[in-house]
Structure 1
């Protein structure tokens, strides 16, 4: 029974230290709710419960920003609203023509070196 208490205490201490370090090294943009300093105080003053609160409530995941990353202008809704339908159609036509030219260039068979 005493061994279980020692092992449990050791695991609680390891979790507590890990929680403090994780909270301290995360950028301020990854903290939810209160400030980074407040989270560190919560984790330090409430050893196991503070760590659990940090991982469940306070730590924002990398993909938990709520904002979809914009990869290209065509993916940006604000950009799409800013251009008119005729501009969109002209842009699509230009892209289709460019793709057709690229297809024609790549369809040619490679030149062979014929020697007599």
Structure 2
């Protein structure tokens, strides 16, 4: 019988994005990220950037630890059975470009961002 390693005890939900980078600090201190789900209703590719940071990221300056392409008009779901460890905290932003330096804002058409994690 398989052992379930997934042990998230908290979640963060952003129902709909604002017309910005939506730079957000979710946790401060050591965090295990277990899953991400998000829907991009836009006709173009968008990017979710995850930061190992205890405050909201300075988009275009801070370097993300994960950059996730969000396919147009599609759901994206990622899971880590043992968690993705972030020593400083969990923060995120959304942009229209993949480059670390990209600061182009997204519209209001990214919905249902859900992060599950444990602190």
Alignment TM-score, normalising by the size of structure 2: 0.19
**Bigger share in helix:** 1
Alignment TM-score, normalising by the size of structure 1: 0.20
Larger gyration radius, structure 1 or structure 2: 1
